[in-house]
Structure 1
Amino acid sequence: MSDPPKYILEGLEKQSPETLRKIAQIATEMADNKERQLETELEEQEIADRPTDLDRDDAPSSATLTTKEINGNRYYYWQWREGEQIKSEYIRPVDPKR
């Protein structure tokens, strides 16, 4: 993590403890919002990157497409629940060239 810009630190030094606590609260809320936004963008990108050539007929009706990383390589799996167990079925590598 990088240090805050000098102009921000200089401005903060001039604030009262009450104001600093309020600024800290606002900064925490802003950081949380940015993290949620980034997670949403990553999820949307992952959905957009999913292959369109996979045949849903080959998967159980409740299965969802998941990506697993094993030894630095990523693979597609169908994943679903049967009772208390989570089942997975290998599909293919994310990058078919590997």
Structure 2
Amino acid sequence: MSDEPPIPPTSFSAELVDALNSSSPKQLRDIATYAESLSEHKEREAHPEESPDQDDVEEQPDELPDDVPAKATITIKEINNNRYYYWQWRDGDQIRSQYKGPVKLNG
């Protein structure tokens, strides 16, 4: 990995780049999770005839951290070619996520 910061896409506004650059690593992970969820939502809205892909969602999580509600499910998100588990739940009109850990491959 390079010690140089990544170059933002040219389509990003200066305000967005400044906001991202001033964010903490945890905030950036939350932003990435939210952006992924939002893009999936917008894609579903654009193609309502397609059913959502449920392969990456476990229906009944085993054990929940104290700050994650019982209705949360585990979702797998791919970020920069790496796969991560996130607890995810709806809170009113918003989707909340909390990092759980990396997906470990068997074998």
Q: Smaller-chain TM-score range?
A: 0.3 to 0.5
> Which one has a larger percent helix, Structure 1 or Structure 2?
1
Q: TM-score, normalised by structure 1?
A: 0.41
Q: TM-score, normalised by structure 2?
A: 0.38
Larger radius of gyration: 1
Higher RCO structure, 1 or 2 (CA under 8 Å, sep 6+):
2
